[in-house]
């Protein structure tokens, strides 16, 4: 699973919104680190994106990662 390419050069972003998008990426890479097969990921996302509880759980992971990214950027103050 070692990613040859550099997908996370830095935690610094230009805006809170870019920071939120990085938090989404971190959450997805967390899933990819356990399951690298695109087919399985697409199949599962199609399924859980239809389920309220699963969507809430996905939002929770983004919230934890956004907390990290926001602190890294001193809340873009």
Nearest distance from residue 2's CB to its own copies, in Å? 8
Cβ neighbourhood burial of 66 (10 Å; 0-12, 13-18, 19+):
buried
29 contacts 8 by C-beta, under 8 angstroms: yes
Residues 15-74 touching its own copies, rule: CB under 8 A, are: 15-17, 20-21, 24, 26-31, 33-35, 40-41, 44-45, 47-68, 70-72
User: How many residues line the site for its own copies (CB under 8 A)?
Assistant: 56
Q: Which of 4, 7, 14, 38 binds its own copies (CB under 8 A)?
A: 7
Torsion from C-alpha of 15, 20, 25, 31, nearest 10 degrees: 160
6 near its own copies (CB under 8 A): yes
């Amino acid at each position: 699973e070692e990613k040859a390419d550099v997908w996370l050069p830095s935690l610094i972003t230009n805006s809170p919104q870019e920071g939120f998008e990085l938090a989404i990426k971190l959450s997805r890479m967390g899933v990819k680190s356990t399951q690298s097969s695109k087919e399985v990921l697409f199949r599962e996302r199609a399924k859980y994106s239809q389920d309220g509880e699963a969507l809430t759980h996905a939002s929770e992971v983004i919230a934890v990662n956004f907390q990290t990214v926001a602190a890294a950027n001193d809340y873009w103050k």
